C-alpha cells in the first residue's frame, strides 16, 4: 500500500504573543516547527504501516526551510520525502497548494491513501484535505479518529453530528485526521541521525510538476487584521470563604443573575 | 486623405475581448441547507438569517438548497426562514452524505444558476463539502466565519474568521472568482424567527444519478467509538442555550471537588461544563468542553471553578454576559477577565456559596 502524507511547517505558535491592547502580534522567537496536525497525520500513516506493509511518503509545499519538517517526518518513520518548493509557490493559497500536491502525487504515480491533518495550527481553515481529494478525483473522509485499511477498503471512525460514525470507502481515499486522536511517536535516535546524514529530501519545482502561473494565482485576499476587544478587568474578592461567598452571592442577586 | 489607419484601428477594436468583469452574470445568495433526523439543523437556520441580511444589502434573492431523501417538506420550511426560492434534490441515494455526489450536484447547480454568494454552515457535513466544492468550482472559500459583511463599493463578501486560537481576527475576500463561498461557524449567528406567512413551493431538481460505486458506506451506531474514546451523550439542554453555566477545571482536584461543582450547578438551576482538563479527568463529556474545539456558549452567568482559563477556553465564553472565576492562583489568566474574581480554594468557597444561597 502506498500512503502519501502532505505536511506543513508553521511558525511556532509558542513564540508568538498577541497584544490586543496594542493591536500587534509580537514574534518573540522565529522558529519553524512541524505543524501538530501534520505530525498526527504522519503518526496515523505510520500506524497503518505498522499493521501491514506500506510505503509512506511525506510531501510538503513550502520554502526551502521546510526541509527540516520533512527530515523530521523521515526520522519518525517515513520512507521518502519530497519538498515542493518554487518562488512561484510562495504566495499560493490553499487551492493552489491542492493543485501542487495533486501534481506531485500524480507524478509519484498516485496513492492508495492520502493522510492529512484536519486543520493546521496557524490558519485552521481545514480546507486542504477535501480540496486535494477533488483535485485528485479521490473520495474523502474527514475528521477521522481511528483508521484501518484492508482489502482495498478504508474503514474510519469519524466525528459526525453529535457523535461518531463508521465510514467505509474503497481506496484511493484522502483522509484527514483529528490531531487529538493520534499523539505522535518520538523518533528513534538513530533515525534522527540518518534523517540528516543518510537520507535525502528530493526537491521539485514548478517545472518538475508541469505547473504554470495561471494555476497558482491566489483566490483569497486578506483585507484586514483585527483584534478582539481587550479583556475587561473585573473586581477582585478575597478573604474568608464564608464572607467571600456571601459577597459573591449578594452581588449576583443584586444583578438579578440568580434568584 | 488616407483613412486606412481608421480601418486598422477598427479591426483592432473588433478583435478586443469583451471585458470580463468579475462577478458578471452571478446573482443571488445561496445557502446549502442541511437536515438531520427530520429537522433543519440550527446552524442552517442561522446561516439563512445571514443570507437574508446579505441579500437585502445587495438587493438579490435568497435561495435555499437542500439535498436528501424525501426532504421536500423540510426544504419548503426554508421559506419561513427567509428563502425566496428553494431548490430540492431528492433521491434515495442522497440519504447518506456522499462527498463526491454532493459536490457534483452542487457544482452543476452552481454552474447552471450562477449564484453570487454561497454560504455553508460549518457543520461536519459543511466542513467536508465546502472545500471540495470550492476546488471543483475553482473558487475561494473563507472558512469558519464569525462575521460576514458586504463591501458595497465592490460588491464583495467579507468574511471574518479567527486565527491563532482566536487571538487575532482576519477578514478576507474573494475578489475575482465566483461564487464567493464562506462557511459559517455554528452558534455564532442568530437564527431568524420563522415567518409563518412566508411560504412557497420548492423547485425540484432533476437528478440523473448514475450508479456510484466508490461511495462511502455509513454506519451510524452507538458502538462506533474510537479506541479510548468516550460515549457521546446528547446533552439534556443545548449548551449554547443555557442561561447559567457552572464550569469545572483541573483545579477542583478530584471527583469530590467536581461533585461540589455539580451541586452548585443544581442550586443555580444551571448546566455543567468544564475545561479540556476536566474532560481529560473524565468528569464531563466531550460536548461539555467550553472553548476552541468544544462548545461556544453565551450564558447570562458563567462560573469558572478551578479553571486557569487559557485563550482556548476563554474563546468559548467570550459571549458570556457575566463571568465569576474562583481560583486559588491570583495570576491565572481567567482572573483578569472575570467580572468577579474570587481568590480562594474553590473547594472551600463553593460550600460556602451553597450555604449563602440557601439563606
pLDDT digits (tens, 9 = 90+) for B48-92: 999 999 999 999 999 999 998 889 999 999 999 999 999 999 888
Minimum mean pLDDT among A98-107, B91-100, B170-179, B231-240: which range? B231-240
Q: What is the pLDDT, as a whole number, of residue A98? A: 92
* Mean pLDDT across B343-355: 88
Residue B220 binned pLDDT confidence (cut-offs 50, 70, 90): low
Residue B214 binned pLDDT confidence (cut-offs 50, 70, 90): low
* Residue A23 pLDDT exceeds 80: yes
Is B226–A25 a contact, with Cβ atoms under 8 angstroms apart? no
* Residue A162 pLDDT exceeds 80: no
Judging contacts by C-beta atoms under 8 Å, the chain B residues touching residue A47 are none
Is B244–A123 a contact, with Cβ atoms under 8 angstroms apart? no
User: How many whole angstroms separate alpha carbon B9 and alpha carbon B64?
Assistant: 49
Q: Is B338 on the interface with A (CB under 8 A)?
A: yes
- Mean pLDDT value across chain A: 87
| DSSP-assigned letter for residue A15 | G
Percent of chain B scoring above 90 in pLDDT = 29
User: How many whole angstroms separate alpha carbon B336 and alpha carbon A232?
Assistant: 7
Minimum mean pLDDT among B27-36, B42-51, B243-252, B310-319: which range? B310-319
Which cell goes with B346? 474553590
Residue B38 falls in which region: left (phi positive, over 0), alpha (psi -120 to 50) or beta: left
**Of residues B132, B287, B338, nearest to A234 (C-beta):** B338
**Of residues A127, A181, A241, nearest to B348 (C-beta):** A241
Minimum mean pLDDT among A100-109, A184-193, B231-240: which range? B231-240
Is A241–B170 a contact, with Cβ atoms under 8 angstroms apart? no
- Mean pLDDT value across chain B: 83
Question: Which of B159, B226, B291 to mutate against chain A (most A CBs within 10 Å)?
Answer: B226
Phi, psi of B227, deg, nearest 5: -60, 130
Is A159–B124 a contact, with Cβ atoms under 8 angstroms apart? yes
Q: Give how far A28 is from chain B: nearest CA, Å.
A: 15
Which cell goes with B269? 438551576
Residue B204: count of CB within 10 angstroms of its CB: 13
Chain A residue with minimum CA distance to B170: A225
* Residue B234 pLDDT exceeds 60: no
* Residue B41 pLDDT exceeds 60: yes
The reported pTM is: 0.78
* Mean pLDDT across B212-222: 59
Question: Which of B22, B154, B216 to mutate against chain A (most A CBs within 10 Å)?
Answer: B216
Q: Is B107 on the interface with A (CB under 8 A)?
A: no
End-to-end CA distance of chain B: 107
| DSSP-assigned letter for residue B211 | P
Residues 204-233 of B with CB under 8 A from A: 213-222, 224-227, 229, 232
Cβ contact B62:B79 at 8 Å: no
Is B132–A130 a contact, with Cβ atoms under 8 angstroms apart? yes
Strand order in the sheet with A163-170: A202-204, A80-84, A55-61, A2-7, A113-117, A173-177, A139-150, A153-160, A163-170, B217-219
Q: What is the pLDDT, as a whole number, of residue B17? A: 46
User: How many whole angstroms separate alpha carbon A126 and alpha carbon A233?
Assistant: 34
* Residue B120 pLDDT exceeds 70: yes
Residue A244 falls in which region: left (phi positive, over 0), alpha (psi -120 to 50) or beta: alpha
Instruction: Tell me the HSE value of B43 on the side-chain side, using a 13 A CA sphere.
Output: 23
* Residue A233 pLDDT exceeds 70: no
Burial degree of A213 (CB within 10 A; 0-12, 13-18, 19+): exposed
Instruction: Tell me the HSE value of A61 on the side-chain side, using a 13 A CA sphere.
Output: 25
| Preceding amide of B179 cis, omega within 30 | yes
Cβ contact B47:B120 at 8 Å: yes
Is A252–B176 a contact, with Cβ atoms under 8 angstroms apart? no
* Residue B341 pLDDT exceeds 80: yes
Q: What is the pLDDT, as a whole number, of residue B55? A: 93
Q: What is the pLDDT, as a whole number, of residue B79? A: 92
Percent of chain A scoring above 70 in pLDDT = 98
* Mean pLDDT across B317-321: 80
Q: Give how far A84 is from chain B: nearest CA, Å.
A: 20
* Residue B293 pLDDT exceeds 80: no
* Residue B117 pLDDT exceeds 90: yes
More confident residue, A62 or B293: A62
Task: Count residue pairs from A and B with Cβ separation < 8 A.
Answer: 242
Residue B8 binned pLDDT confidence (cut-offs 50, 70, 90): low
* Mean pLDDT across B32-39: 88
Q: What is the pLDDT, as a whole number, of residue B34? A: 92
**Of residues A228, A235, A249, nearest to B339 (C-beta):** A235
Residue A12 binned pLDDT confidence (cut-offs 50, 70, 90): confident
Q: What is the pLDDT, as a whole number, of residue B160? A: 93
Nearest to A139 by CA among A173, A162, A110, A115: A173
* Residue B15 pLDDT exceeds 60: no
Residue B238 binned pLDDT confidence (cut-offs 50, 70, 90): low
Q: What is the pLDDT, as a whole number, of residue B335? A: 84
Nearest to B303 by CA among B259, B332, B331, B262: B262
Q: What is the pLDDT, as a whole number, of residue B57? A: 92
Q: CA angle B67-B70-B75, nearest 5°?
A: 55
Q: What is the pLDDT, as a whole number, of residue B60? A: 92
Helix, strand, coil share of chain B (percent; to 5): 35, 25, 40
Q: Is B336 on the interface with A (CB under 8 A)?
A: yes
Residue whose cell numbers read 486543520: A119
Percent of chain A scoring above 90 in pLDDT = 37
More confident residue, B307 or B310: B307
Q: What is the pLDDT, as a whole number, of residue A102? A: 93
User: How many whole angstroms separate alpha carbon B308 and alpha carbon B166?
Assistant: 17
Q: Which residues of B26-44 are buried (b: 16+ CB within 10 A; e: fewer)?
A: bbbbbbbbbbbeeebbbbb
Amino acid at each position: 500500500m502506498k500512503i502519501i502524507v502532505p505536511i506543513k511547517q508553521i511558525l511556532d505558535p509558542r513564540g508568538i504573543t498577541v497584544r490586543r491592547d496594542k493591536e500587534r502580534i509580537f514574534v518573540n522567537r522565529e522558529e519553524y516547527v512541524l505543524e501538530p496536525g501534520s505530525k498526527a497525520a504522519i503518526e496515523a500513516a505510520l500506524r497503518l504501516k505498522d499493521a501491514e506493509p506500506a510505503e509512506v511518503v511525506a510531501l510538503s509545499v513550502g520554502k526551502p526551510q521546510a526541509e527540516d519538517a520533512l527530515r523530521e517526518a523521515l526520522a519518525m518513520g517515513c520512507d521518502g520525502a519530497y519538498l515542493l518548493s518554487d518562488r512561484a509557490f510562495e504566495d499560493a493559497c490553499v487551492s493552489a497548494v491542492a493543485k501542487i500536491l495533486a501534481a506531485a502525487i500524480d507524478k509519484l504515480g498516485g496513492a492508495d491513501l492520502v493522510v492529512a491533518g484536519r486543520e493546521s495550527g496557524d490558519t485552521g481553515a481545514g480546507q486542504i484535505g477535501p480540496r486535494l481529494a477533488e483535485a485528485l478525483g479521490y473520495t474523502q473522509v474527514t475528521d477521522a479518529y481511528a483508521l484501518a485499511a484492508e482489502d482495498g477498503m478504508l474503514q474510519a471512525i469519524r466525528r459526525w453530528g453529535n457523535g461518531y460514525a463508521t465510514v467505509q470507502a474503497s481506496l484511493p481515499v484522502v483522509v484527514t485526521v483529528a490531531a487529538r486522536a493520534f499523539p505522535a511517536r518520538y523518533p528513534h535516535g538513530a533515525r534522527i541521525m540518518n534523517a540528516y546524514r543518510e537520507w535525502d529530501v528530493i526537491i521539485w519545482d514548478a517545472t518538475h510538476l508541469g505547473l504554470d502561473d495561471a494555476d497558482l494565482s491566489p483566490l483569497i485576499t486578506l483585507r484586514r487584521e483585527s483584534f478582539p476587544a481587550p479583556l475587561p478587568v473585573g473586581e477582585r474578592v478575597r478573604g474568608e470563604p464564608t464572607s467571600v461567598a456571601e459577597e459573591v452571592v449578594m452581588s449576583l442577586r443584586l444583578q438579578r443573575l440568580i434568584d | 486623405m488616407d483613412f486606412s489607419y481608421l480601418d486598422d484601428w477598427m479591426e483592432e477594436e473588433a478583435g478586443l475581448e469583451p471585458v470580463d468583469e468579475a462577478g458578471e452574470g452571478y446573482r443571488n445568495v445561496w445557502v446549502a441547507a442541511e437536515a438531520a433526523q427530520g429537522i433543519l439543523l440550527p446552524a442552517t437556520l442561522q446561516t439563512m438569517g445571514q443570507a437574508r441580511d446579505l441579500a437585502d444589502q445587495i438587493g438579490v434573492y435568497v435561495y435555499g438548497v437542500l439535498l436528501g431523501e424525501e426532504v421536500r417538506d423540510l426544504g419548503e420550511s426554508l421559506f419561513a426562514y427567509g428563502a425566496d426560492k428553494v431548490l430540492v434534490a431528492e433521491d434515495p441515494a442522497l440519504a447518506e452524505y456522499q462527498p463526491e455526489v454532493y459536490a457534483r450536484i452542487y457544482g452543476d447547480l452552481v454552474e447552471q444558476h450562477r449564484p453570487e454568494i454561497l454560504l455553508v454552515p460549518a457543520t461536519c457535513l459543511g466542513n467536508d463539502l465546502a472545500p471540495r466544492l470550492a476546488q471543483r468550482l475553482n473558487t475561494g472559500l473563507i472558512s469558519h466565519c464569525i462575521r460576514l459583511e458586504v463591501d458595497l463599493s465592490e460588491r464583495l463578501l467579507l468574511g471574518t474568521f479567527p486565527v491563532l486560537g482566536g487571538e487575532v481576527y482576519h477578514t478576507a475576500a474573494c475578489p475575482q472568482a465566483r461564487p464567493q463561498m464562506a462557511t459559517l461557524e455554528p452558534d455564532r449567528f442568530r437564527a431568524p424567527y420563522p415567518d409563518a406567512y412566508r411560504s412557497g413551493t420548492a423547485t425540484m431538481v432533476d437528478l440523473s444519478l448514475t450508479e456510484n460505486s466508490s461511495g462511502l458506506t455509513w454506519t451510524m451506531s452507538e458502538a462506533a467509538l474510537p479506541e479510548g474514546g468516550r460515549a457521546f451523550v446528547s446533552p439534556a439542554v443545548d449548551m449554547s442555550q443555557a442561561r447559567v453555566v457552572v464550569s469545572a477545571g483541573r483545579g477542583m482536584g478530584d471527583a469530590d471537588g467536581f461533585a461540589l461543582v455539580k451541586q452548585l450547578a443544581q442550586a443555580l438551576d444551571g448546566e455543567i461544563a468544564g475545561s479540556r482538563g476536566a474532560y481529560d479527568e473524565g468528569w464531563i463529556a466531550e460536548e461539555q468542553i467550553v472553548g476552541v474545539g468544544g462548545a461556544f456558549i453565551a450564558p447570562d452567568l458563567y462560573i469558572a471553578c478551578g479553571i486557569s482559563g487559557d485563550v482556548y477556553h476563554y474563546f468559548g465564553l467570550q459571549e458570556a454576559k457575566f463571568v465569576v472565576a474562583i481560583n486559588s492562583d491570583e495570576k491565572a489568566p481567567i482572573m483578569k477577565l472575570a467580572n468577579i474574581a474570587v481568590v480562594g480554594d474553590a473547594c472551600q468557597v463553593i460550600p460556602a456559596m451553597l450555604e449563602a444561597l440557601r439563606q
